[in-house]
Structure 1
Amino acid sequence: MTTYTNPILNADWSDPDVVRVGDDFYLTASSFGRAPGLPLLHSRDLVNWTLIGHAVDHLDPAEEFAAPRHDCGVWAPSLRHHDDRFWIFWGDPDQGIFQVNAPEIRGPWTRPHLVKEGKGLIDPCPLWDDETGEAYLVHAWAKSRSGVKNRLTGHRMHPDGTELLDEGKLIVDGDRIPGWFTLEGPKLYRHDGWFWILAPAGGVETGWQGAFRSREFFGPYEEKIVLEQRDTDVNGPHQGGWVRTPSGEDWFLHFQQRGAYGRVVHLQPMRWGADGWPVLGDDGAPVAVHPLPDLPPQPPAAPATDDDFPGGRFGRQWSWTANPHDGWATQHSGDGLKLACVRSADAHDLRKLPNILTQRLPGTPCAVEVELRLDSAEPGARAGLAVLGDAFGWIGLQRGTDGEVHVVHRFAEAVAEKERDAEHARLAPEGRVRLRIEIGAGARCRFFYDVGEGLRPSGPVFAATPWRWVGALLGLFALAPTGPGHAGAASFTQFRITSL
């Protein structure tokens, strides 16, 4: 293979940033309200990536994320390597700017440190200037929390990354640039005697990628649009990071908003024009296919999706919809995921449940399968496989008041306050079922089940939806109505995602 095809990460790896250390490239992305958060990906060729861990195991303050906050939490992180340590800065729009750091990418990572408290402080990016020893930080603003947006604020930062040394200065005012709006997601660099800020504007659906440069950190900055859709299929190329290979090639990673699939990641070639400005893609338009980076060939790789749950442990691709509790998943000597049927007053609405184990919805047509056994005698106990967003649909097993186990298929529209049946219940005589969801073009989902008589279709088509700007998720869950005592468990085995 001599070329690659975009997107290189075809799932919701939102707001990516990238750094090179030696021959290795590392990437992180937004994880919002899920735990663990701040995913860490690794590549040797910028095209084939694997998920190697997370930088935070739970979100702080813990009580704020005891219940799902799907589009809050960890927004738009920046990943850097300085002073022999990895650093990640991110904004929580309700709390402020946080930082973690570690001697190795796999950790151990420090506990999150609040660098600057404040509402609406988002998309922070640090810079350590090796020429002067100074440290800086730039961030954007969320109007929903602060009342302002379309501007970038710069600070001097203590070199140890623990605090900002001033109140900040407005260094780029998007309202003063004709036609620019929703300026956000800045990434800060030093190159060729200039301070560079690469930042998108215009909104994620239809916007563009801009570049700003100044001889002094606090400005004045001049601007230029360096990547936009033009006549391609890549709407609103947006928000990412610049990285240079050992041989001196420059590359830019960014996302594209794709509805229910979330923000998929593209790789653009980058060079410096005669005027000193960066040229991204094909003279400013996104590329679909391009020669591979000049890096040693690597075998095909992608973040894991399948899972046999050895010893009851789930892989790195899974995260909970809120901070987890002990006992939600039980380790054991065999294979298979054993989830406790957690009692909840919100059993009628999966969007409110913290104990759903999720992974990203693939961006290409696929089939998702898992085998399920319900080990609960509790009437109303249920477990299943779900597609989650503002709307949700799920198929699984439920124990009835008559003691029998049935296959049930339910859904809820985005505006609905609780789920309802998508199909009549069917008896599952042995309390087990094989579940399948086929996800076609446009994230249209069809549900199937097999209780030993072959696959049977269930209900009408369901169109997956995002959570605002967060892509739809696949989820496994077990729950029960409120009541006393333990409500039993459910076992999931052989989780598979195959291309269609």
Structure 2
Amino acid sequence: MTTRLHHLALLMLTIGTTLLFSSQPVKAQHEKAHNPIIYADVPDMSIIRVGNNYYMSSTTMHMSPGLPIMKSTDLVNWKIIGYAYDTLGSMDELKLTNGRNTYGRGSWASSLRYHNGMYYVTTFSQTTGKTYIYSTKDIENGSWKSVEFKPMMHDHSLFFDDDGKAYLVYGSGKIKLVELNSDLTGIVSGSEQVIIENASLPTSPTGTDVGLPAEGSQLFKIKGRYYLFNITWPAGGQRSVVIHRADKITGPWEGKTGLQDKGVAQGGLIDMPDGRWFAYLFRDNGAVGRIPYLVPVKWENGWPVTGEDGKVPMDLDLPANQSIAPGIVASDEFSRSLHDAALPLVWQWNHQPDNRLWSLKTRKGFLRLTTGDLDTSFLQARNTLTQRTFGPTSSALTSIDVSGMKDGDFAGLCLLQKDFGWVGVKVNGKNKTLVMVNASGGNPEEVAHITLNKNTVYLKADCNFTDRKDIAEFYYSLDGKSWQHIGTSLKMKYTLPHFMGYRFGLFNYATKEAGGYADFDYFRISGDLTQHLSSYQP
């Protein structure tokens, strides 16, 4: 690992700073793919194949726009091509208004399907208590039609059967089935039934050591037989794949343990045009989040057998991983032509933004974030613009003009999670101070402050997720060349209240007077974008 990183460092120095912080793809140095497929937070995947193209949906919960849709032609290299929705609703919780939020909720595990020339993706929300079904004829360029109804169906799987009927399979521990009406706008009255009384039994045979009950349902029909994938987490054990099969959708169902290795679990099955099968799954990997894996599948006696001798292989007989930039993450100079999208798809807002208060046009070549409300804390600040962090190491760099900030304003570069950290500028009267705030202990502390006599400052955050170190450091520069460390190390922790890997973010919020603004000149990422993991030992 040390030798490899040394060579990589020399290469990056040769390329130079400009290319280092570029979002252009870098040619992979592996001939074959390796796990994880994406070393970033892409949980609860649902994948379909239509012809030679693969499409994937995932979970981003309280982020907006939501329910990302991704595309691949090889199952390994993915890019975001759109989102199923811009907003879920107008509740305070979704907008970070009136002191409310929906961290860790929003929308959860989705189900992506293709049926009779139409694409469907469904999700559910604890925040609104509803189930959502989105549909489009053109998954790459079309708009999504939305229907919603109550109740929410936890971790459901949308399923179209051969007889034309549509179902949702859902639940936790006890797996249920409901039939949808013909236009998918609601549930057929009286159709709900339990199809598996305790789906956790294959990994918890006594029924008393269940731990996390079976959930994350994904249902498939292959050669006339039904297959249901779930995740369990038996007490004292590790996250596991449970597979059930049946000849009828209503059962009886028989189940077995599908995989118990490295905690890689929750997902489903996908086939390739050449006849090969894989299971797509994810792994909880500390502060970077839940990261996708592919596991080979062979069929034996009518069962999908996952892994190689029951283990998750690190190398795969698939095309090599390329850079996750610009498909999943990307640098942004904030320069726009008339035909450019306002924001690349890699960006998401923390909760729903107030679109009146951000602009890429007011000052050409800059992202302007203007305050519109008074906030009591960083986590209640609207219009924080975010991207995923990624592993094993990643960095983000920005330059900010603070001349438009007002008394009581805070603006800068953050790492967003419950135990957040940020470096930036605060204004007190006419005085500007460069500060680092560290919330590693659960409560934010201003651990460093330096008088700032300039209007432009450069900020940087470095993340190290190698071997789950989960440490971040913050830096500043007054000239963009000479960098100084500021504050203390941020010990990043994946917490359930946020239920998401750490994200880089740009923010500006007011505590005394609205109307101040901060101008961000660019956002540049660097790091192990091609995920060189030849020495990675999980």
TM-score, normalised on structure 2? 0.83
Q: Which residue of 1 aligns with 2:3?
A: none
Q: Give the partner amino acid of 2:333.
A: D
Which of 458, 461, 474 aligns to 1:434? It is 458
| Alignment partners' CA distance in 2, 1:84 and 1:42 | 17
Deviation at 1:391, TM superposition (A): 0.7
Q: Which residue of 1 aligns with 2:366?
A: 336
| Structure 1 stretch displaced more, 352-361 or 105-114 | 105-114
Alignment pair present for 1:44 and 2:73: yes
Q: Which residue of 2 aligns with 1:355?
A: 383
Q: Give the partner amino acid of 1:438.
A: D
Q: Which residue of 2 aligns with 1:421?
A: 446
Are the equivalent residues in 2 in contact too, given 1:28–1:79 (CA < 8 A)?
yes
Alignment pair present for 1:200 and 2:231: yes
| Alignment partners' CA distance in 2, 1:42 and 1:496 | 22
Deviation at 1:34, TM superposition (A): 1.0
Mapping for residues 124-163 of structure 1, pairs under 5 Å: 124-130=156-162, 132-140=163-171, 149-163=172-186
Q: Which residue of 2 aligns with 1:171?
A: 195
| Alignment partners' CA distance in 2, 1:174 and 1:420 | 46
| Alignment partners' CA distance in 2, 1:150 and 1:113 | 27
Deviation at 1:64, TM superposition (A): 3.9
Q: Which residue of 2 aligns with 1:143?
A: none
Alignment pair present for 1:5 and 2:34: yes
Q: Which residue of 2 aligns with 1:145?
A: none
Are the equivalent residues in 2 in contact too, given 1:4–1:47 (CA < 8 A)?
yes
Identity of aligned residues (%): 25
Q: Which residue of 2 aligns with 1:481?
A: 511
Q: Which residue of 1 aligns with 2:120?
A: 87
Are the equivalent residues in 2 in contact too, given 1:388–1:464 (CA < 8 A)?
no
Q: Which residue of 1 aligns with 2:58?
A: 29
Q: Which residue of 1 aligns with 2:8?
A: none
| Alignment partners' CA distance in 2, 1:299 and 1:259 | 23
Alignment pair present for 1:243 and 2:277: no
Q: Which residue of 2 aligns with 1:370?
A: 398
Q: What's the CA shift string for 1:443-478, capped at 9, x where partnerless?
A: 201111001271011112111122413212211101
Deviation at 1:406, TM superposition (A): 2.3
Mapping for residues 54-453 of structure 1, pairs under 5 Å: 54-67=83-96, 68-94=101-127, 95-115=129-149, 117-118=150-151, 121-130=153-162, 132-140=163-171, 149-165=172-188, 166-174=190-198, 177=201, 178-179=205-206, 180=210, 181-202=212-233, 206-229=238-261, 234=262, 236-273=263-300, 275-292=301-318, 301-302=324-325, 303-311=328-336, 313-332=342-361, 334-346=364-376, 349-401=377-429, 403-413=430-440, 415-416=442-443, 419-423=444-448, 425-440=449-464, 441=466, 442-452=469-479
| Structure 1 stretch displaced more, 369-378 or 197-206 | 197-206
Q: Give the partner amino acid of 1:427.
A: T
Deviation at 1:301, TM superposition (A): 4.9
Q: Structure 1 residues 439 and 477 mapped into 2: Cα distance closer, same or farther (>3 Å)?
A: same
Deviation at 1:377, TM superposition (A): 4.6
Q: Give the partner amino acid of 1:357.
A: L
Which of 523, 528, 531 aligns to 1:499? It is 528
Q: Structure 1 residues 477 and 379 mapped into 2: Cα distance closer, same or farther (>3 Å)?
A: same
| Alignment partners' CA distance in 1, 2:134 and 2:242 | 28
RMSD of aligned Cα (Å): 2.3
| Alignment partners' CA distance in 1, 2:298 and 2:185 | 34
Deviation at 1:125, TM superposition (A): 1.0
Q: Give the partner amino acid of 2:232.
A: A
Provide the secondary structure at the position in 2 that maps to 1:490.
strand
Alignment pair present for 1:464 and 2:492: yes
Q: Structure 1 residues 316 and 463 mapped into 2: Cα distance closer, same or farther (>3 Å)?
A: same
Q: What's the CA shift string for 1:372-405, capped at 9, x where partnerless?
A: 111325112221111121211100122232x233
Q: What's the CA shift string for 1:213-265, capped at 9, x where partnerless?
A: 11111111000111111xxxx2x212113111112211111110012111000
Deviation at 1:38, TM superposition (A): 0.6
| Structure 1 stretch displaced more, 392-401 or 31-40 | 392-401
Are the equivalent residues in 2 in contact too, given 1:343–1:482 (CA < 8 A)?
no
Are the equivalent residues in 1 in contact too, given 2:388–2:503 (CA < 8 A)?
yes
Q: What's the CA shift string for 1:177-200, capped at 9, x where partnerless?
A: 225451000111111221111111
Deviation at 1:25, TM superposition (A): 0.6
Q: Give the partner amino acid of 2:110.
A: P
Provide the secondary structure at the position in 2 that maps to 1:65.
helix
Q: Structure 1 residues 49 and 361 mapped into 2: Cα distance closer, same or farther (>3 Å)?
A: same
Deviation at 1:414, TM superposition (A): 5.3
Q: Structure 1 residues 201 and 267 mapped into 2: Cα distance closer, same or farther (>3 Å)?
A: same
Provide the secondary structure at the position in 2 that maps to 1:482.
coil
Q: What's the CA shift string for 1:10-43, capped at 9, x where partnerless?
A: 1111111101111111111011111000111111
| Alignment partners' CA distance in 2, 1:6 and 1:377 | 45
Deviation at 1:413, TM superposition (A): 4.1
Q: What's the CA shift string for 1:116-172, capped at 9, x where partnerless?
A: x126x3111111123x222222012xxxxxxxx412111122343222223411111
Are the equivalent residues in 1 in contact too, given 2:33–2:317 (CA < 8 A)?
yes
TM-score, normalised on structure 1? 0.89
Provide the secondary structure at the position in 1 that maps to 2:156.
strand
Provide the secondary structure at the position in 1 that maps to 2:106.
coil
Are the equivalent residues in 2 in contact too, given 1:56–1:109 (CA < 8 A)?
no
Are the equivalent residues in 1 in contact too, given 2:366–2:519 (CA < 8 A)?
no
| Alignment partners' CA distance in 2, 1:488 and 1:151 | 51
Q: Where does the alignment leave 5 or more consecutive residues of structure 2 unmatched?
A: 1-29, 530-538
Provide the secondary structure at the position in 2 that maps to 1:123.
coil
| Alignment partners' CA distance in 2, 1:227 and 1:84 | 34
Deviation at 1:334, TM superposition (A): 2.6
Q: Structure 1 residues 35 and 176 mapped into 2: Cα distance closer, same or farther (>3 Å)?
A: closer
Deviation at 1:173, TM superposition (A): 2.1
Q: Give the partner amino acid of 1:345.
A: D
Are the equivalent residues in 2 in contact too, given 1:376–1:399 (CA < 8 A)?
no
Q: Give the partner amino acid of 1:208.
A: S
Provide the secondary structure at the position in 1 that maps to 2:213.
coil
Are the equivalent residues in 1 in contact too, given 2:357–2:372 (CA < 8 A)?
yes
| Alignment partners' CA distance in 2, 1:5 and 1:248 | 20
Are the equivalent residues in 2 in contact too, given 1:368–1:495 (CA < 8 A)?
yes
Deviation at 1:352, TM superposition (A): 2.1
Are the equivalent residues in 1 in contact too, given 2:44–2:110 (CA < 8 A)?
yes
| Alignment partners' CA distance in 1, 2:92 and 2:373 | 19
Are the equivalent residues in 2 in contact too, given 1:389–1:472 (CA < 8 A)?
yes
Are the equivalent residues in 2 in contact too, given 1:13–1:265 (CA < 8 A)?
yes
Deviation at 1:299, TM superposition (A): 6.1
Are the equivalent residues in 2 in contact too, given 1:211–1:226 (CA < 8 A)?
yes
Q: Where does the alignment leave 5 or more consecutive residues of structure 1 unmatched?
A: 141-148
